[in-house]
Structure 1
């Protein structure tokens, strides 16, 4: 496969990258770089590897079985009680969860536009939501995919140029690839991994590969797309962390990532400010588009509905998720209780989904020769253990134990 062919194969994987490089990731990477410099770069490397492991399984499941992850979860339980419980968990954690985070996605992107234009984020927010709605309403997967791939490219170029303009310490960057855990950094390590290994992306990927490719014969191209796109997503996160580490003295606290672009100007000039703002807008818009799409895929699959982008029920789900984000972005209000619920539900769901994914990837009746190898199972088990740890930490943090 030539380089041009590899670039052309980019698609569903880029949508996954578009989904996890949102304002939350921009915020977490910025805060981490400002607080601990380059020391936690290794965490991004681990996050990228972990994401590739789980997303490759999810994509392979969709490509070979022609089932979405929600459908697979729903169809694997014989017990009605377990089936209903799994459906309730998926709908609550993914459906309500993506709705809760949608406000942050829209406001994050709007903050980038506000910095460039001077127009209030509370005005840009609803406009962004309407544009995202128009894109999704077309029901044309190829158009949605191409738009998101283009915005991921914009993100990558913007944040990479910023990192170059800042002139980071290359020796310190190299040292950051060596694992270390500075005092008090456990929370941000958890955050960096948690914003990259995202449960709803597993649902999005298993369904979106079916829109792009026809079957197992396309598995090589699918894997190329997955690995290339997620590595690019990791490089974007790395660029953001490096920019913050280079600009701010170690130990600096960043309270508002929307203002970080303004803080860059005195240090690195107007161009750095503009590029960061453009990248933040692209991050917000892509996540504001992929989150409702993922929520619709997960909910439709779990409830046994048709996964057609033009079906009424499918549209109703993403309209509801996007609508929540638009309304709260116009009010400039964050639904804290809903977000806390989403964190609890996703903290429970991600380990369960990871365990289920490994289980179903060993089912020869479903996947035949495409079941997991021993190495894939070992990597999956390692990632799942870390995910369980993240879930436990998240839950304990929310209830105030740690």
Structure 2
């Protein structure tokens, strides 16, 4: 029975690993420290939006046996529009993921730095963090093997380890279950919390995951009869990932710390109140979050670039490897220069936030193409829900932009 369940697990955990990175840990920490449990409802909305759009992405991959990026290249017939969208996606996703990669590696380094002192070496006048090189080497090894099954199993193990760490950290703080439930079902935005609400949604509904999921789904499932497995895998993984994010908010809400710069502040803040064991648990979770995202970000960039440019999307193809190697290298270099992770992650999140509506619209349009999906096109209800959720995200994004300009 267990063996059968494990076989049915697909790319869902990899997608969860992609959005539970250092960026998510940082944003959830800020949400918990500043607003307590008040924004738990925003994570529920985030989970719902992510389930809807990731299910469409998985369905697209399983039924068409092509990735989202490949379909954009072939289905947008207007050459000028095709080039414009392709260049926009390439710049935003590939360069954006390079920025995320620096944040991912830096986040994993922060987890290790809580456990042990940081070791550096000087090369040509530059001070290089040894941990950055180590994490880059681990990500390189997992990606270079070029075997989907090995990659999938490795990532599932890391995701399970990461999830257990964050959930244990939340349990250690002995939260009030009644208060948690109340804030999950009560929609309220405390003063100055709107930008954090948008950040919580933006760090969960990740544009590059829409490309990654469709590409991985076609790798995992070659037959249309597996669609139900793909949908179940998506729902379970995303909901579980959302619960992990909520655990981080719950953990952070128990502390009274100021000036949160990164997720390691949460681990360090736990020690005086709950002991060193809590600090170590959370630090290990942060390390695992960084490693998993350090693998998925270059992988997604490679799928997008190769799909848009018409190159092979096989894991062991030379051009595919070239793209993820470039993204990984950029991430390692920037992570080793001492740039603060929060700044790197913020830049990437802004780019993703601007790109999400366009990508989501293209995905909805693609899901209504009968020559691609046959009877598996979106129903009217699915279209209504997906468009309504998209409008909600755009509305929040525009409102937060206006609020930000008022602050400026």
TM tier, smaller: over 0.9
1:367 is aligned to 2:373: yes
1:232 is aligned to 2:240: yes
Inter-partner Cα distance in structure 2 for 1:38 and 1:343: 23
Partners of 2:165 and 2:282 within 8 A in 1: yes
CA displacement, residues 322-341 of structure 1 (integer Å, 9 cap, x when unaligned)? 00111112222259998676
What pairs with 1:314-333 in structure 2 (closer than 5 Å)? 314-333=320-339
Q: 1:248–1:335: structure 2 CA closer, same or farther, 3 Å change rule?
A: closer
Work out which of the residue numbers 176, 179, 183 in structure 2 matches 1:176: 183
Partners of 1:344 and 1:398 within 8 A in 2: no
Work out which of the residue numbers 297, 312, 320 in structure 2 matches 1:291: 297
Partners of 2:202 and 2:353 within 8 A in 1: no
Inter-partner Cα distance in structure 1 for 2:40 and 2:346: 28
Between stretches 170-179 and 33-42, larger displacement belongs to 170-179
**Partner of 1:19 in structure 2?**
18
CA displacement, residues 131-186 of structure 1 (integer Å, 9 cap, x when unaligned)? 10111001111111111111110111001111111111112111111111111110
Q: 1:104–1:342: structure 2 CA closer, same or farther, 3 Å change rule?
A: closer
**Partner of 1:114 in structure 2?**
113
Q: 1:393–1:316: structure 2 CA closer, same or farther, 3 Å change rule?
A: farther
Inter-partner Cα distance in structure 2 for 1:399 and 1:288: 33
Work out which of the residue numbers 223, 233, 253 in structure 1 matches 2:231: 223
1:130 is aligned to 2:134: no
1:75 is aligned to 2:74: yes
State the 1:355 CA deviation.
0.8
Between stretches 333-342 and 128-137, larger displacement belongs to 333-342
**Partner of 1:88 in structure 2?**
87
Work out which of the residue numbers 181, 200, 203 in structure 2 matches 1:195: 203
CA displacement, residues 189-230 of structure 1 (integer Å, 9 cap, x when unaligned)? 000000000000000000001111112100111111101111
State the 1:259 CA deviation.
2.6
**Partner of 2:164 in structure 1?**
157
CA displacement, residues 269-306 of structure 1 (integer Å, 9 cap, x when unaligned)? 11110110000001111111100000110111111111
The SS at the match of 1:247 is coil
State the 1:389 CA deviation.
2.8
**Partner of 1:139 in structure 2?**
146
Give the aligned length.
399
CA displacement, residues 356-379 of structure 1 (integer Å, 9 cap, x when unaligned)? 111111111111110111221111
Inter-partner Cα distance in structure 2 for 1:400 and 1:62: 42
The SS at the match of 1:331 is coil
**Partner of 1:357 in structure 2?**
363
State the 1:235 CA deviation.
0.9
Q: 1:194–1:213: structure 2 CA closer, same or farther, 3 Å change rule?
A: same
CA displacement, residues 62-104 of structure 1 (integer Å, 9 cap, x when unaligned)? 1101111111111122111001001101100100000011111
**Partner of 1:31 in structure 2?**
30
CA displacement, residues 250-270 of structure 1 (integer Å, 9 cap, x when unaligned)? xx5423322321111010111
Between stretches 312-321 and 170-179, larger displacement belongs to 170-179
State the 1:394 CA deviation.
6.5
**Partner of 2:212 in structure 1?**
204
Partners of 2:18 and 2:292 within 8 A in 1: yes
Inter-partner Cα distance in structure 1 for 2:53 and 2:160: 23
State the 1:400 CA deviation.
7.4
The SS at the match of 1:271 is helix
Partners of 1:73 and 1:302 within 8 A in 2: yes
The SS at the match of 1:284 is helix
**Partner of 2:126 in structure 1?**
none
Partners of 1:63 and 1:215 within 8 A in 2: yes
Inter-partner Cα distance in structure 1 for 2:397 and 2:24: 18
Give the TM-score, by structure 2 length. 0.93
1:166 is aligned to 2:173: yes
Q: 1:335–1:273: structure 2 CA closer, same or farther, 3 Å change rule?
A: closer
Give the TM-score, by structure 1 length. 0.94
Inter-partner Cα distance in structure 2 for 1:256 and 1:120: 19
State the 1:5 CA deviation.
3.7
State the 1:401 CA deviation.
7.4
State the 1:248 CA deviation.
2.8
